[in-house]
Amino acid sequence: YGWQLVNHALTFTLIGEDSCADRAAALAGKFLSSTPGEQVAQWADVQVTRAGQTQNVIMNYLLYLPKDYNTSPDQRWPFVLFLHGYGERGSDLNILKVHGIPRLVAQGQDFPFIAVSPQLPMTLETWTGQVDALAALIKNLQASYRIDDKRIYVTGISLGGNGTWHF
């Protein structure tokens, strides 16, 4: 695999599914760019407060921007958070492409909304304890992309369906 990710003026060429460059960009608090009409691997460092203590949580996810995202700079887009099932946990974002929105995008389908598909680490058994991190991720994305605050949706399958109820 190879991606060319642009982070403002800094350009990386990434080889492989997991590299130090994308993790370093995430740790620096920067979002990696996405090309409209494509699904791109991203990392975000989000802050959550649990039991009175603030901690950073690194979240990896797939980001999809609609093909026409750049044609109307004033348009706000619906946002869909897709939570995967138990079998897609881990650190390989390509696994997310076996079901749901990530699969349809990988097959070439275009959608009129921004889609984010985070991946639950293998060390976690459920989305329940990640609701605060997911909410922080959405807030970070709202600051970076033109998301319509009145059209934010959460959906999922199996374990991810359970996560939507807890959200």
pLDDT in tens, 83-118: 999 999 999 999 999 999 999 999 999 999 999 999
Cα separation, 114 vs 40, in Å, equals 12
CB 118 within 8 A of CB 137: yes
> What average pLDDT is seen over the chain?
83
- Whole-number Å distance between alpha carbons of 100 and 156: 8
| pTM score over 0.75 | yes
* Residue in the structure block whose two tokens are 């090309």: 35
Q: Give dist(CA 145, CA 166) in Å, integer.
A: 25
In this prediction, residue 76 carries a pLDDT of 97
pLDDT at 8 over 70: no
pLDDT in tens, 33-80: 578 988 999 989 999 888 889 989 999 999 999 999 999 889 999 999
Beta bridge partners of 42: 61
- At residue 18, the pLDDT reads 45
- Residue 101 one-letter amino acid: I
Q: How many CB atoms lie within 10 A of CB 64?
A: 28
Cα-based angle 51, 54, 59 (whole degrees, multiple of 5)? 110
Query: For residue 3, is pLDDT > 90?
Result: no
